[in-house]
Amino acid sequence: MGTVTLGVSIAVPEPHGSHLQRCRLGFGDAAAAHIPTHVTLLPPTEVDPAARPAIEDHLSALAAAGRPFPMRLGGTGTFRPLSPVVFVRVVEGAAACGWLQERVRAPEGPLARELLFPYHPHVTVAHGIAEEAMDRASEELSDYEAAWQATGFALYEQDGGGAWALRREFRFASAPGTAPRPDAASRVA
């Protein structure tokens, strides 16, 4: 039957998402054409397709327990030399992202898994390209800033060619367009 590769992330909204995607492509990172601009909550994870209903139920419950929070990006950082990545830093909302990713990967849940590296929320703007291009990405986006209200997260699926497609969005219970739940309003997201 095989497996499918899923990921969970917070999308970087417009106009910021497409701007950073164009920058990433401009630095020579061709993979950016198939990767929506995002902050990862669950890295690519192989699962049995039969687990999808349980996964979606798990994510729905997590969204119901969450609440919107401010996200702000500012400046750049890198994981080099450990990993060939330049990123835009999450300077506000990192704790909320950490809370979410821990619960997405909860040991008792359908997406339980260990990470290869400690969780560090970020927006990748260059990955696996020439060092000169990585340096250029770091320099050109060093003053970059963007801010928005995170109102939920999304489940993505990777196809055989490496492209990521939105499978389902999960809005926090008290996000605009949803009725707040009394028990969710008091929880930290």
Cis ω on the peptide bond leading into residue 15 (within 30° of 0)?
yes
Torsion of the alpha carbons at 95, 101, 102 and 104, rounded to the nearest 10: 150
Q: Give the count of domains, the chain.
A: 1
Instruction: For residue 180, tell me if it sits in a domain.
Output: no
* Average pLDDT score, the chain: 91
| Rounded Cα–Cα distance for residues 155 and 165 (Å) | 9
Look up residue 180 and give its DSSP letter.
P
Q: What is the pLDDT of residues 54-72, one digit of tens each?
A: 999 999 999 999 999 999 9
pTM: 0.89
What confidence tens digit (pLDDT) does each residue in 110-169 have?
999 999 889 999 999 999 999 999 999 999 999 999 999 999 999 999 998 999 999 999
Q: CB neighbours of 3 closer than 8 A, spacing ≥ 6? A: 46, 47, 48, 49
Q: Give the CATH number for residue 108.
A: 3.90.1140.10
Classify residue 164: in a domain, yes or no.
Answer: yes
